[in-house]
Amino acid sequence: MMVLAEIAPPTLGLYLGFGALFFGVGLAGVLMRRNVIIILIGVEMMMNAANLNFLAFWHYNPNPSAVMGQMFAIFGITIAGAEAAVGLALVIAVYRHFRGVNVDQMNVLKG
């Protein structure tokens, strides 16, 4: 019990640090993977990291009754969802041509 009590409480810096880490993992996924669906998942994680930032900034705000941070996060979630839907529709459209979802296949346009 003593050990548990000594654990430092999370700070704004910690939340932001984890947010940034999470964003970095998402970005690494976008850059490293060939599968378009995984790339989309990476983008979703990046968006989510931004939402975490908004909430952290809001929570540690001098004036939390102005819920602008929460507001922005709501819009962030909504728009990320809409974007995922459009992205997946495009994946289907592309799949009909290439019979696959890997980005290296998509090399018709060049120059």
Partner 1 sequence: MNYTSLFGYLLGEVVLTAAAFVILIADVMCHRKDDVGARNQRMAWWTLTGLFLAAVVYAIQFAQGNANFADGTLVINPLNLFFKEVILVITAITVFFSMEEPVSKHVGEYYAMILFAAIGMAFLVTSENLLMIFVSIELLSLSLYALVGFQKQILRSAEGAMKYFAFGAVSAAFLLFGLSYIYGATNSLSLPAIAETFKGDPLMARSPVLLIGILFTLVGFGFKIAVVPFHLWAPDAYEGAAAPVAGFVASGSKVASFVALTKFLLLGVAPAAGAATISFPFTPHFTPGWAPVIALMAFISMVWGNLAAITQTNLKRLLAYSSVAHAGYILVALFGAKAWGQTAIYFYIIVYALTNLGAFGVVTALANKVGGDDIRCFAGVWRRAPGLTVLMMIFMLSLAGIPPLAGFFGKFYLFAAGLAADQMQLGYLWLVITAILMSAVSFYYYLQVLRVFYVNPASRGGPISICPCQRWPMTVIALIIFLIGWYPTALLDWIQGFLQRV
Partner 2 sequence: MNLLFYIFSGLMLLCAALVVANRHPVTSAMLLILVFFFMAGLFVLLEAFFLAVIQVLVYAGAVMVLFLFVMMLLDIRSSQIRRQNAPAMLAGLSVGFAFWVEFWLILRHSALPVGAPMNFDAGIRPIGKLLFSEFVLPFEITSLLLLAALVGVVLLSQKETR
Interface with partner 1, residue 41, by CB under 8 A: no
Interface with partner 1, residue 29, by CB under 8 A: no
Interface with partner 1, residue 90, by CB under 8 A: yes
Of positions 62, 81, 102, 104, contacts partner 1 by CB under 8 A: 62
When the beta carbons of 64 and 106 are compared against partner 2, the nearer one is: 64
What does 7 interact with, of partner 2, partner 1, none (CB < 5 to 8 A by kind)?
partner 2
Among 94, 2, 84, smallest CA distance to 47 is for: 84
Interface with partner 1, residue 39, by CB under 8 A: yes
CA–CA dist 56, 11 (Å, integer): 9
The torsion angles phi and psi of 102, rounded to 5 degrees, stand at: -95, 140
Of positions 33, 61, 70, 100, contacts partner 1 by CB under 8 A: 61
CB distance 77 to 50 below 8 Å = no
CB distance 87 to 101 below 8 Å = no
What does 106 interact with, of partner 1, partner 2, none (CB < 5 to 8 A by kind)?
partner 1
What does 81 interact with, of partner 2, partner 1, none (CB < 5 to 8 A by kind)?
partner 2
Among 49, 52, 44, 57, smallest CA distance to 23 is for: 49
